[in-house]
Amino acid sequence: MKNTIMTLLIVALSLIGLARSASFYEVGDTNGWTTKMGLDYYKTWSSSKTFYVGDSLIFQYNKDLHNVMEVSFKDYELCNPNSALATYHSEYEPVKLNRTGHYYFICGVPGHCECGQKLEPQTLVCGVG
């Protein structure tokens, strides 16, 4: 009996998570993806959010001045754009978070990452079926 109740509780909680719809987050809110916000702006911005698998980040920026690169943790720490996992070049760039764990994004324009144009969102929970 106790196992049946526990199983039903786990199933119910799973279904609640599956019913959640995906969210879209504009990176930096109205400030967008830029070097003008300071070293910790995107860290602070992402720490106030809970990201789920299936959510999307929307990077808005001037494509003549910036880009978005998904990189490894090591390249994120070093601000190294030379081994990007993916590179985006449009002015309105949605990036779907399709797995749990950390993601690492930088601007690959020389000096921009070092000025704080880097983002490390983490998806904590599966939430979309």
pLDDT of residue 90: 85
pLDDT of residue 19: 52
* pTM for the structure as a whole: 0.80
Kindly state which CATH superfamily the domain 22-126 is placed in: Cupredoxins -  blue copper proteins (2.60.40.420)
Distance, CA of 98 to CA of 21 (rounded, Å): 14
The residue that leads in pLDDT, 74 or 4, is 74
The 10s digit of each residue's pLDDT in 46-93 is: 999 999 999 999 999 999 999 999 999 999 999 999 999 999 988 887
Distance, CA of 31 to CA of 34 (rounded, Å): 7
The structural domains of the chain, with segments of one domain joined by +, span: 22-126
pLDDT of residue 28: 96
High-pLDDT (> 90) share of the chain, %? 71
Looking at residue 44, its amino acid is T
